[in-house]
Amino acid sequence: MAAAASATARRRRVGATLVRRALRDARVRTIGFAYLFLIVAYVNASAYASLYPTLKSRLAFAASFGNNKAVVVFYGKAYDLLTAGGYSAWRVGGTLALFAAVFGIFAAVRALRTEEDAGRSELVLAGRVGRTVAMRSSVAAIALTICALWVGEFAGLALAGLQAGESAYLALATASVAFVFAGVGAVACQFAPSKRGAVQIGLAVFVACFLLRIAADTSHGVEWLRWLTPLGWAEDARPFTGAAPAALIAPVLATVALLLAAALAFRTRDIGSGLFAGRDFSRPHYSLLGSPTAHGLREERGSLLGWVLSLAAVGFVIGFVAKSVNRSVITPSVERELSKFGALRVASPIGYIALSFILVVPAVCAFMCAQMGAARREEEEERLETLFSMPVARLGWLGGRIALALGGAVVVALAAALATWAGAEAAGLHVALGSMLEAGANCLPAAVLFLGVAAFAYAFAPRASSAISYGLLAVAFLWYLFGSLVSVPKWIINATPFAHVGTVPVEPFRGPAALVMVALGIAATLVASVRFRRRDLIGD
Amino acid sequence: MSAICTSRLGKSYGDTRALCDLDLDIAEGEVYGYLGPNGAGKTTTIRLLLGLHRPTAGRAELFGVDAWSSPVEAHARVAYVAGEPFLWPALTGAETLELLANVRGGTDTAYRSELVERFQLDLDKKIRALSKGNRQKVQLVAALATRADLLLLDEPTAGLDPLMEVAFRDCIKEAKERGQTVFLSSHILSEVEALCDRVGILRSGVLVDEGTLAELRHLSELTVEAAFDGPAPDLGPIDGVRAERAGPSALRFAVSGPVAPLLKALAAQPVTTLTSREPSLEEIFLHHYDAADGGGS
């Protein structure tokens, strides 16, 4: 008896250690998401009253945006747009459910598979830790991180003055999505041959669920499809619009079933591989193996395609929705707020496009950071040592990676512009193709600047370079967003490069500012090159 | 011209001294064994020879070209096998060989096919699915197939099974016959003993001994054992000889320097058997490590 009791105590102790370890691993991501949930919830919920102060403006908004299919695609079905709560349930709940799903997938894969693929779980499982304890600890850690998101959303809604009970319930509906998709991720981890495969399976299920919800919300006669998707269950919980808690039984059952299935599969599979064997064999494809740069393109083409498709999708939606923007949607108070970003005629389709396209600029900058991050991994994982032991010049290699990043940025930016144009055309709105391409090109000077920043960080602090480059990007863009919304002195806002990017096509392209950004980017890249030529390679 | 030449080459990482005052001069066509335990500075030396890390003192040249200031020219006649076989996980073995051949240039594809056979490499498998030993074989085949004038090998047989170890040794012998220079960093003494013309022994970043195996043996002690008819006699002190009992009627001598004085002393004794044995590389190696820090290496 004593032995059994001490074994139980030991299992608890080990489990608690593993939970702490997983939480430490997830803390940056979790805090980031919880903060995002808080901000999105607070900003939307509190903006409603000031943007749509009168019943008339609310009715106009509900009549136009609430019934616009393009908008419903994004946020889901709106049940009540005449109250701040109903608006938040639609706008906040609709947006955050998508984020919650993605968070759930990544949290599960990170906790259940990343350690394993790195070979560290073997060390844990080789000790006196059973698989059941290991899995339970990971699941407990995931559940705790999802609770943090719930707290973030609830706090944001409550701080904005919404009723506390309903706010907690809306946040619960969002969290239910995260739980189900964590279950999806957990099952995917058991089947996929690698963590990357698990993420792909998880995201594919997410896209399928998203499409089901879109079909259910936008087409008549197939509303029952909503019952097949966790995103639909969160809608059917009807927070703020006559709560129906019974709808939350489905996510509870689904989560439990998925986790049980994952636990069963985990007991039967080999550590480090999934129940589906990966494609470890392949006939050789000799294209793009001629030089390190060509091979860089080969390694990065998948990721480039991902960037192109996602920004093109965003662009298409922006273009497609634009036509329905008019005076009745953008009230004078909204217009006053938005005009702070510089667009002169926001309450027009073209103004809406110009303003929305400002979001594409930091995305292209982030693409630059990602490209330099990929270059850094070549060094960190010591493949660069193999390349540089051959007649390959360091500067030539770095130049090739920079050229790849620049070429990729042009493709990504122009794809977003073209897709926006195509979206507008598809909705019957005519926008000059030339002016949309100009908007795409308008992203590039800032991208060159951030390429310089990322290259600089990579040359001087390779191990911290991603954190530095993405961090500076986030600070610079949020600085611009919040600085523009809360009226701070002009010179403070002007410290961020994004204040100098014109809202093309409504505003003209700002040549001098673009020139300065490009010059700074090139200068930083040159300094980075000198440093990169002269430093030791990293790696153990 | 020397294939490898370093003068007072040194490297410190912060306060840690990884390599100090290294003077190497390795002639073309030589097979040089670079011995040392983990952390002695073998990999640091190779990184300096390849210009991957910057020397904090002295310089390194490959075929007379400075490794740090002109790495591309210095690498023109070099092939390298890294200690940790990190390659591109998404490529298959065949694709990896193709990429390395394109970047390196000068690959003999017929010889490469032969090497693939000899190392029993599965070229259709992706690198991520290969074991460490198999990834090591991909690197080895890529490097050997270039027939480069200088092969820099950093513990190339770590992870290879005994059969592949034999294949590796054959390849190095062939390379030597063709006149290629080989710099073989290793801590597998039998491998170095079997392959190398000359050996350098590294301890804590310092080259403590260097020479041909014969020279190293010459400098080390010879072991002589003598058995006597009757109890072992007392020979008295002999120059350069330490004696110890090896049984009631046997003595063991450690001889440094010429063996003649010992033979002279033994000639007058009733010796029944006399055996002598040269020190193995292992004994030479351990000798250097025991002498310094009480056996801690």
In a domain, B205, yes or no: yes
Give the separation between CA A504 and CA A439, rounded to whole angstroms: 5
Q: Give the pLDDT band (50/70/90) at residue A130.
A: confident
Residue A260: pLDDT band with limits 50, 70, 90: very high
pLDDT tops 60 at residue A384: yes
CA distance B208 to A83: 83
Whether B6 is covered by a domain: the verdict is yes
pLDDT at A88: 92
Query: Which residue out of B12, B46, B52 would a mutagenesis test of the A interface target, given it has the greatest number of A Cβ atoms within 10 Å?
Result: B52
Residue of A nearest to B53 (CA): A536
| A391: closest CA of chain B, how far (Å) | 4
B138 touches chain A (CB under 8 A): no
Least CA distance to B55: which residue of chain A? Answer: A536
CA–CA min distance B121, chain A (Å) = 13
Same domain, B209 and B89: yes
Contact B88 A383 (CB under 8 A): yes
- Min CA distance, A274 vs chain B (Å)? 13
- Judgement on whether residues A331 and A453 belong to the same structural domain of the protein: yes
Q: pTM for the whole thing? A: 0.80
CATH code: domain of residue B202? 3.40.50.300
Verify that A199 and A52 share a domain, yes or no: yes
Report yes or no on A338 lying in a domain: yes
* Residue A283 falls inside a structural domain: no
Contact A386 B87 (CB under 8 A): yes
Mean of the per-residue pLDDT values of chain A = 87
DSSP track, A97-157: HHHHHHHHHHHHHIIIIIHHHTTHHHHHHHTT--HHHHHHHHHHHHHHHHHHHHHHHHHHH
Q: Does B106 touch chain A (CB under 8 A)?
A: no
DSSP conformation class of A537: P
Distance CA B22, CA B56 (A): 12
Are the C-beta atoms of A362 and A473 separated by less than 8 Å? yes
Same domain, A62 and A157: yes
Q: Which residues are within 8 A (CB) of A67 and not within 5 positions of it... i.e. 6 or more apart?
A: none
Do residues B172 and B126 share a domain?
yes
Q: Is B82 on the interface with A (CB under 8 A)?
A: yes
Inform me whether the C-beta atom of residue B71 falls under 8 Å from chain A C-beta atoms: yes
Residue, of B140 and B86, whose pLDDT is higher? B140
Query: Which of A351 and A107 is assigned the larger pLDDT?
Result: A107
Domain residue limits at B149 = 2-216
Chain A contacts of B52, Cβ < 8 Å? Answer: 385, 388-389, 536-537
- pLDDT confidence of A66, banded at 50, 70, 90? low
Q: Both A49 and A13 in a single domain?
A: yes
The closest CB to that of A280, out of B94, B126, B152, belongs to B126
* A496: CB partners within 8 A, 6+ apart: A476, A477, A479, A480, A483
A4 domain-assigned: no
- At residue B294, the pLDDT reads 41
Q: Per-residue pLDDT for A49 more than 50?
A: yes
Whether pLDDT at A68 is above 70: no
In a domain, A296, yes or no: yes
Report the range out of A317-331, A402-416, A484-498 with the highest average pLDDT.
A402-416
Task: Tell me the residue range of the domain where A340 lies.
Answer: 292-534
Strands of B271-277's sheet, edge to edge? B241-245, B250-255, B222-228, B271-277
Of the two residues A218 and A53, the one the predictor is more confident about is: A53
Please report the sign of the dihedral spanned by the C-alpha atoms of residue A424, residue A428, residue A431, residue A433. positive
Residues in CB range of B179: below 8 A, 6 or more apart: B28, B29
- pLDDT of amino acid A367: 94
Regarding whether B226 and B209 lie in a shared domain, the answer is no
What value does the CA radius of gyration of chain A take, rounded to a whole number of Å?
25
pLDDT, tens only, A77-112: 888 888 999 999 998 999 899 999 999 999 999 888
Percent of chain B with pLDDT over 70: 97
Q: Does A279 reside within a domain?
A: no
Contacts of B123 in chain A (CB under 8 A): 284
Chain B residues close to A290, C-beta within 8 Å: 102
B145 shares a domain with B37? yes
Worst-scoring range by mean pLDDT, A115-124, A133-142, A354-363?
Answer: A115-124
Least confident of A1-15, A121-135, A328-342, B64-78: A328-342
Q: From the list A383, A388, A390, which residue is nearest B86 (CB)? A: A383
**pLDDT-derived band at A144, boundaries 50, 70, 90:** very high
Q: For residue A347, what are the CA distances in angstroms to A314, A332, A339, A423, B41? A: 20, 9, 10, 18, 69
Is A388 within 8 Å of B50 when comparing Cβ atoms? yes
Q: Are A38 and A168 within one domain?
A: yes
- Does residue B58 sit in the same domain as residue B72? yes
Q: Are residues B138 and B97 in the same domain?
A: yes
- In the chain, the amino acid numbered A265 is A
Which residues of chain A does B87 touch, with a Cβ-Cβ cutoff of 8 Å?
383, 386
Gap from B82 CA to chain A (nearest CA, Å):
7
Residue A275 domain flag: no
Q: What is the mean pLDDT of residues B134-158?
A: 94
Looking at the structure, do residues B108 and B254 belong to the same domain, yes or no?
no
Specify whether A395 is located in the same domain as A439: yes
For B130, name the nearest residue in chain A, comparing CA atoms only.
Answer: A280
Is A386 within the bounds of a domain? yes
Based on the fold, state whether residues A66 and A210 are members of the same structural domain.
Answer: yes
Total domains present in chain A? 2
Could you please report the per-residue DSSP string of A238-307? -TTSS--GGGGHHHHHHHHHHHHHHHHHHHHSPTTS-SSPP--B-----TT-SSHHHHHHHHHHHHHHHH
Most confident of A321-330, B88-97, B263-272: B88-97
- Local confidence band at B297 (pLDDT 50, 70, 90 cut-offs): very low
Label residue A333 by pLDDT band (50, 70, 90).
low
Interchain CB distance below 8 Å, B75 and A389: yes
Answer yes or no: do A260 and A298 share one domain.
no
Q: Same domain, yes or no, for A320 and A383? A: yes
Same domain, B136 and B239: no
Angle CA A131–A134–A136, to nearest 5:
105
Q: Which of A285, A286, A385 sits opposite B82 (nearest CB)?
A: A385
pLDDT at B296 over 70: no
Statement to judge: residues A223 and A314 lie in one domain: no
Q: What is the DSSP code (8-state) at residue B83?
A: S
Residue B295: pLDDT band with limits 50, 70, 90: very low
Nearest residue of B to residue A290, measured between CA atoms: B102
d(CA B140, CA B93): 12
pLDDT, greater one: A32 or B145:
B145
What is the C-alpha to C-alpha distance for residues B132 and A484, in angstroms, rounded to an integer?
55
CB A257 within 8 A of CB A362: no
| B222-228 vs B57-62, strand pairing mode | unpaired
Q: Name residue A141's amino acid.
A: A
By CB neighbour count within 10 A (0-12 exposed, 13-18 middle, 19+ buried), where does A381 fall? middle
Q: Where does the pLDDT of residue A153 fall: very low under 50, low under 70, confident under 90, or very high at 90 and above? A: very high
> At residue A15, what are phi and psi to the nearest 5 degrees?
-60, -45
Q: Within this chain, do residues A227 and A338 fall inside the same structural domain, yes or no?
A: no
The mean per-residue pLDDT over the stretch B243-257 comes to: 87
The verdict on B142 and B266 lying in the same domain is no
pLDDT of B32-77, one tens digit each?
999 988 889 999 999 999 999 999 999 999 999 999 999 999 999 9
A253 and A313 housed in the same domain: no
- In whole angstroms, what separates CA A309 from the centre of its chain? 14
Is residue B257 included in any domain, yes or no? Answer: yes
Who among B76, B98, B124 is closest to A391 (CB)? B76
Cα of A186 to nearest chain B Cα, Å: 23
Q: Identify whether the C-beta of residue B67 lies closer than 8 Å to the C-beta of residue B48.
A: yes
Q: pLDDT confidence of A337, banded at 50, 70, 90? A: low
Would A284 be classed as within a structural domain?
no
The mean pLDDT of A295-300, rounded to a whole number, is 95
DSSP letters spanning B212-262 = EHHHHHHHSPEEEEEEESSSPP-----TTEEEEE-STTEEEEEE-S-SHHH
Give the three-state DSSP class for B280.
Answer: coil
| Weakest-pLDDT range from A206-215, A216-225, A369-378 | A216-225
- The reply to whether residue B82 touches residue A299, judged by beta carbons under 8 angstroms, is no
Mean pLDDT, rounded, for A467-487: 79
Same domain, B212 and B80: yes
Q: Which residue has the higher pLDDT, A360 or A326?
A: A360
Burial environment of residue B235 by CB neighbours within 10 A (0 to 12, 13 to 18, 19 or more): middle
Tell me the HSE value of B124 on the side-chain side, using a 13 A CA sphere.
4
CA B115 to chain centre: 22
Run of H or E including A213: helix A195-218
- Prior bond to A230 cis, omega within 30? no
Asked if B124 lies within 8 A of A381 by C-beta distance, the reply is no
Record: contact A282-B128, CB cut-off 8 A: no
The domain tally of chain B equals: 2
* Residues B111 and B196 grouped into a single domain: yes
Contacts of A425 (CB under 8 A, 6+ apart): A319, A431
For residue B54, list chain A residues with Cβ-Cβ distance below 8 A: 534-536
Rounded Cα distance, B26 and A516, in Å = 53
Question: Alpha-carbon Rg of chain B, whole angstroms?
Answer: 23
Query: Would B17 be classed as within a structural domain?
Result: yes
